[in-house]
Amino acid sequence: MIAKTCRVTFLALTLVFLAGFFTACSTETANKIFDISSITSFRDIPGVTNEEIAAIEALQALRQSFSFGTMLTTEAFILPDGSTVGFLANFTKLLSDLFGIPFILEFHQLDSLRSGLLGGTIDFSGNLTPTPERRQFLFMSYPIAARSLGILTYGDSIIIKNESDLSGLRIGFFENTITPQFVMNAYPELSFEMVFVSGTPEAAAMLESGLIDAFILDAVNFPSFADNPRIRSKEIFPLVFTPVSMTTSNPQLEPIISVVSKYIAAGGFIKLHELYKAGNFEFSRFMLSKKFTDEERAFLDGLAGQKVPIALEADIYPISFFNENEKEFQGISVDVLAQISAFTGLEFKVVNDKNTTWVEILEMLRTGEAAVVSKLVITEERKNYRNL
């Protein structure tokens, strides 16, 4: 079963960005991090030159849009209504606003994405890790995101609990990637046979046939294998995060890459982290909705516009308690219900106050005045309550 999106921590993402800043840009520029939300146009980005402004204005006169290629990933995916969401959808919206010209997200398979980017039929992508070798023929921004690595296996024939279980296996990788280098740099004690494949269909076929025991890739690419329920995924490399850059092969588009790097250096990495966090949430909500049965969807739809009554205890910290300073109920139960609201749209209302006794709360549950309570030990008698 395909796992949920990788959780890119703020610390890991920031470290990747800052490493790029302080090795590639001046200390003066790096120290001038300010309120990035004040920037509404590329012209306002600190350090942008008159030459860059003129070059981008010339592009605006020539082009009606730019293409931004990606694979189907946790960073860019399509909802049932046809809308495109995720981090890269958020990022291209930011680019469109900054540069005053639409950046259109396009979905490709890996081979067509690479050939299109190198051939110039795709203007930009955000799927390549910057390296000195690639910078010789590609124009690459400072990192826009950092990804964890994951592993795919087929069925139950191979069990991977941690990275040491990879030794002695035949491991597949996408060709022309630097993923093997990242793995071996972080885990030099591992020894396995490397098998390189050209794209997703070939990787899936080789897993199913047993020609490879496992396949290592960026965890954001798990959804590309979601059509095969026998392919299982797991994130097992806690020491590896791979940065990816906004990239083009077209020298005429290099000013946009340069200005995006200046935006990131000015504090834009904070904005990108916010966009990534929002994209992760969108993907988690999407995956949860796919798990609902028709009956469960109908139940949620039937509660639209209503508020589910809940009763919270005031003195069982940290599960549920009344904060006298902030005059509200808080705790784990409250946080869990807030997440349920965010993911499903369900609304809740507290129907008791801080002085309500446990006996009164239990009676509210028994009669249906409260549909949910913050904590309850199940007994045979309570199993007869209509809400349990």
Confirm if 352 and 361 have CB atoms less than 8 A apart: yes
Number of residues that this document lists for the chain: 388
Average pLDDT value for residue range 302-319: 93
Residue type for 298, please? A
What's residue 388's pLDDT?
55
Sort 381 into a burial class: Cβ within 10 Å, 0-12 / 13-18 / 19+.
exposed
Residues 116-133 have pLDDT tens digits of: 999 999 999 999 999 999
Average pLDDT value for residue range 228-236: 92
Residues 241-283 have pLDDT tens digits of: 899 999 999 999 999 999 999 999 999 999 999 999 999 999 9
State percent of the chain over pLDDT 90.
76
What's residue 29's pLDDT?
44
More confident residue, 266 or 387: 266
pLDDT at 313 over 80: yes
Q: Which residue has the tokens 């609201």?
A: 341
DSSP assignment, residue 213?
S
What's residue 148's pLDDT?
92
- Taken in order of first residue, the domains within the chain and their CATH numbers are 10-291 (3.40.190.10), 299-384 (3.40.190.10)
Confirm if 164 and 174 have CB atoms less than 8 A apart: no
Residues 164-185 have pLDDT tens digits of: 999 999 999 999 899 999 999 9
What's residue 326's pLDDT?
95
What's residue 366's pLDDT?
87
Question: pTM for the complete prediction?
Answer: 0.82
More confident residue, 125 or 304: 125
Contacts of 206 (CB under 8 A, 6+ apart): 172, 195, 197, 212, 215
Q: What does pLDDT average to over the chain?
A: 89
